[in-house]
C-alpha cells in the first residue's frame, strides 16, 4: 500500500511525501517505484498514531468494568479519533477488582484488540493521599505496601506499565523503589507532597507525574509544592488539555518550563467520552456530564470526555507550538513512556504502520493500525 501526496509529520518537522506500507510496517519513505494499492491523501497530514497513556473509558464503557468487551469497545471508539495504542487505566478500587481488570487487560493485549492496541496498564491508585482524592473513591485507598501491590498484580505483573501514587504517604518510597526496579514507571499524583517530598521520591525511582496541576499541591513562591518540584526536576509530566482541567496560560507556562520533550498529552477520559451529556459512573461514584464537563455530585472534576485529536487541536490553537511538536507529545513521547519507541511513535522506516490522516483542523479522516485501514470518514 502506498499513501501519497501527504504532509508527513516527522519528529523534527513536516515534509511533503509518500510512504510504502508492507507487512504492517513502514517499508519505505518516498519510494521511487511502486505497483501497490495507492491512497491519494490529497494534501492531508500523515501522523504517527496517537498513544494515550491515561484513559479510563469511552463509548459508555470503563476499564474497571473488568470485561474484554469493555476494553475492546473503548479501543474501537478512541481509534476513530486517531488513537492507535493506549494504556487502559484502573481506578482506586478493591485489590480484587483491580486484579480482575488487570487479568482482562493482559488477555486483550496478548490476543489483540478490535481497535487501538493495548500496550499495558496504568494503575491510578490505590496508594494515594486521602486529602487529594479527586474523583477516586476514598473507601478503597490503601497505605503503600509491597505485599498489597503483589496481591494486586498477581498473575499479571508484566502488563503494568505505570502506577500513580502519593510519595509522601508512609511506605511509599519503599514501594517506589521496589516497583521502579522492575521497570514500572512511578508517577506522582493525587498527592499533597511538599517540594522536598517529591525531590526525595525521585531518588527512589519516581520519573513521571500524573495530570499536571490537578490533584497535587500547587506552586507558591515560598512553598513550591509538587508543581514546583515537577518544574524544577527532569521528571516527565502529562497534561489534560481540554481547557477545563488546566487553563491555557497555565499550559503555556508548563510547556515553556518543561519543553515539549518532557510532556505527554493524555485524555484521562471516562466512559462518557464520545457520549451525550447525562449521568454516568466512575469508580462506583455517580458522575454528571454537562456541556462536556464531567463532575462528581460534590463538584469535583471526574476525568474528562476529551479525545487526543481534540487535545492536539487545543494545544496547537492556544499555545503557539508548531504542529509537529504538538503531535510529538501525543505520539513519540508516550511511546517512550511505554517503552515501545523502537517501533512505534514515529514515521520511520521499519516502524509499525500505525498512522493517522487528518486535515488542517485535526479532523480525523483515516486510521491505519499495523498497516490495515481501520477507519475512514
Q: Which residues are the active-site residues?
A: 268
101-128 b/e (C-beta count within 10 Å ≥ 16 → b): bbbbbbebbeeebebbbbbbbbbbbbbb
Please state, in angstroms and rounded to a whole number, the distance separating the CA atoms of residues 166 and 169. Answer: 6
Sign of CA dihedral 55, 58, 62, 67: negative
Contact 28/45 with Cβ under 8 angstroms? no
Phi-psi domain of 215 (left: phi exceeds 0; alpha: psi -120 through 50; beta: other): left
Give Cα separations from 114 to 42, 109, 275, 283 (angstroms).
Answer: 28, 10, 20, 25
Give Cα separations from 157 to 11, 30, 188, 252 (angstroms).
Answer: 32, 41, 20, 37
Give Cα separations from 78 to 107, 277, 316, 354 (angstroms).
Answer: 19, 18, 20, 14
User: Cell numbers at residue 84, please?
Assistant: 492507535
What is the full DSSP assignment across 25-87?
Answer: EEEEES-S---S-EEE-TT-EEEEPEEEEEE-EETTEEGGG--HHHHHHHHHHHHTTTEEEEE
Please state, in angstroms and rounded to a whole number, the distance separating the CA atoms of residues 217 and 260. Answer: 23
Residues 6+ positions from 259 with CB-CB distance below 8 Å: none
Amino acid at each position: 500500500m502506498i499513501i501519497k501526496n501527504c504532509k508527513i509529520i516527522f519528529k523534527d518537522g513536516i515534509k511533503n511525501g509518500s510512504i510504502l506500507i508492507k507487512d504492517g510496517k513502514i517499508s519505505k519513505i518516498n519510494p521511487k517505484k511502486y505497483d501497490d494499492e495507492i491512497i491519494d491523501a490529497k494534501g492531508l497530514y500523515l501522523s504517527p498514531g496517537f498513544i494515550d497513556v491515561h484513559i479510563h473509558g469511552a463509548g459508555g464503557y470503563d476499564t474497571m468494568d473488568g470485561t474484554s468487551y469493555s476494553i475492546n469497545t473503548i479501543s474501537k471508539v478512541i481509534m476513530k479519533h486517531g488513537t492507535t495504542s493506549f494504556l487502559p487505566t484502573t481506578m482506586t478500587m478493591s485489590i480484587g477488582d483491580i486484579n480482575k481488570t488487570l487479568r482482562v487487560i493482559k488477555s486483550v493485549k496478548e490476543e489483540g484488540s478490535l481497535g487501538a492496541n493495548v500496550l499495558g496498564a496504568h494503575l491510578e491508585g490505590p496508594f494515594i493521599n486521602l486529602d487529594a482524592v479527586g474523583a477516586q473513591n476514598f473507601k478503597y485507598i490503601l497505605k503503600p505496601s509491597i505485599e498489597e501491590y503483589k496481591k494486586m498484580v498477581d498473575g499479571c505483573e508484566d502488563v503494568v506499565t505505570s502506577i500513580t501514587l502519593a510519595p509522601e504517604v508512609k511506605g511509599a518510597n519503599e514501594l517506589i523503589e521496589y516497583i521502579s526496579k522492575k521497570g514500572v514507571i512511578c508517577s506522582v499524583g493525587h498527592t499533597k507532597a511538599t517540594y522536598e517530598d517529591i525531590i526525595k521520591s525521585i531518588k527512589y525511582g519516581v520519573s513521571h507525574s500524573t495530570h499536571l496541576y490537578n490533584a497535587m499541591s500547587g506552586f507558591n513562591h515560598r512553598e513550591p509544592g509538587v508543581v514546583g518540584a515537577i518544574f524544577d526536576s527532569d521528571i516527565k509530566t502529562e497534561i489534560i488539555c481540554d481547557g477545563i482541567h488546566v487553563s491555557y496560560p497555565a499550559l503555556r507556562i508548563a510547556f515553556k518550563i518543561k519543553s515539549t520533550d518532557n510532556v505527554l498529552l493524555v485524555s484521562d477520559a471516562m466512559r462518557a467520552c464520545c457520549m451525550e451529556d447525562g449521568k454516568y459512573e466512575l469508580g462506583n461514584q455517580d458522575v454528571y456530564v454537562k456541556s462536556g464537563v464531567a463532575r462528581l455530585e460534590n463538584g469535583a472534576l471526574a476525568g474528562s470526555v476529551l479525545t487526543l485529536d481534540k487535545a492536539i487541536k487545543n494545544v496547537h490553537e492556544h499555545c503557539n507550538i508548531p504542529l509537529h511538536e504538538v503531535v510529538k507529545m501525543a505520539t513519540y513521547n508516550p511511546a517512550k513512556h511505554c517503552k515501545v519507541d523502537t517501533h512505534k511513535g514515529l514515521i520511520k522506516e521499519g516502524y509499525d504502520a500505525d498512522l493517522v490522516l487528518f486535515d488542517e483542523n485535526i479532523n480525523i479522516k483515516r486510521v491505519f493500525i499495523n498497516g490495515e485501514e481501520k477507519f475512514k470518514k
